Amino acid sequence: MDLNDLYREVILDHNKSPRLFGRLEPADSAADGHNPLCGDRLHVTVRLEGDRVSDLRFDGKGCAISVASASLMCEAVKGKSRADIAHLFDEIHTVLTHHDAPVPEDLGKLAALSGVREFPVRVKCASLCWHTLNAALDHSASTVKTE
C-alpha cells in the first residue's frame, strides 16, 4: 500500500485547483451527489448540444479524491457525446474496481485515479462524480447516493 500511488501529483493538483469548478446558469440539467459515509456533496450542471455535453461544471465539498476525480471528469467529458461518456465511465469503473484490470490508453489523465483501487474504501469517493453526472444526463432530479 503506497500513499504516493493514491495521492499522485495530478490528484493533488486537481484537488488544490479544481478545473471547471462552479455552476452553469442556465443549465440544461443538474444533479446532486452525496456520499453519506464521508459527507461529500457534489453538484454537477451540464449544457447539452444535441448528443454532446457542450459544457459542464461541478462544485461542492469533498475529500481530495472526490474533488480531483470530479475535476478530471469534467475536463475529460467536456465536448464528448453521451456514448463516449458512457464508454469512459465503463473504463474508469473497471479500472477503479478491478485490481488487475489494465489501464486503457485512452483514459488520459483519468489514469491517475487507478491508484484508488488499492484503497477499496475510497473507490466511492472517486466514483461519486460519475454517478452524479449520469444522474444529470438521465435528467434524474433526485440526489444520488453512494450508499
Partner 1 sequence: MSANPKSLAAYDAERVRRDFPILAREVHGKPLVFLDSAASSQRPASVIEAVDAYERLHHANVHRGVHQLSQEATAMFEQARERVRRFVNAASTREVIFTRGTTESINLVAQSYARPRLKPGDEILLTALEHHANIVPWQLVAGQTGAKVRAVPMDARGVVSVDDVASHLNDRTRIVAFAQVSNALGTVLPVREITRLAHARGAVVLIDGAQAVPHQAVDLAELDCDFYAFSAHKMYGPTGIGVLVGRESLLEAMPPWQGGGDMILTVSFEKTTFNELPFKFEAGTPNISGAIGLGAAIDYIDSLGIDNIHAHEQRLLQVATEKLRRVPGLTIIGTAPDKAAVISFTLDGIHPHDLGTILDAEGVAVRTGHHCAMPVMEFFNVPATARASFACYSRESDIDALVRALGKAREVFS
Dig out the grid coordinates for 144 from the structure.
444520488
Sequential DSSP letters for 72-90: HHHHHHTT-BHHHHHHHHH
- Burial environment of residue 67 by CB neighbours within 10 A (0 to 12, 13 to 18, 19 or more): buried
| Residue of 31, 42, 44, 65 that binds partner 1 (CB under 8 A) | 65
Q: Is 117 in the site for partner 1 (CB under 8 A)?
A: no
CB of 123 to partner 1, least distance (A): 12
Question: Quick one: CA torsion of 24, 61, 133, 121, rounded to 10 degrees?
Answer: 170
Q: Is 24 in the site for partner 1 (CB under 8 A)?
A: no
Tell me the C-alpha distance between 97 and 133, whole Å.
19
Contact window for partner 1 (CB under 8 A) among 19-27, 55-63, 74-82, 96-104: 55-63
> Nearer Cβ to partner 1, position 38 or 103?
38
Partners of 80 in the beta sheet?
Answer: none
CB of 7 to partner 1, least distance (A): 5
Q: Is 57 in the site for partner 1 (CB under 8 A)?
A: no
Residues in contact with partner 1 by CB under 8 A are: 1, 3, 6-7, 12, 36-41, 61-65, 119, 121-122, 125
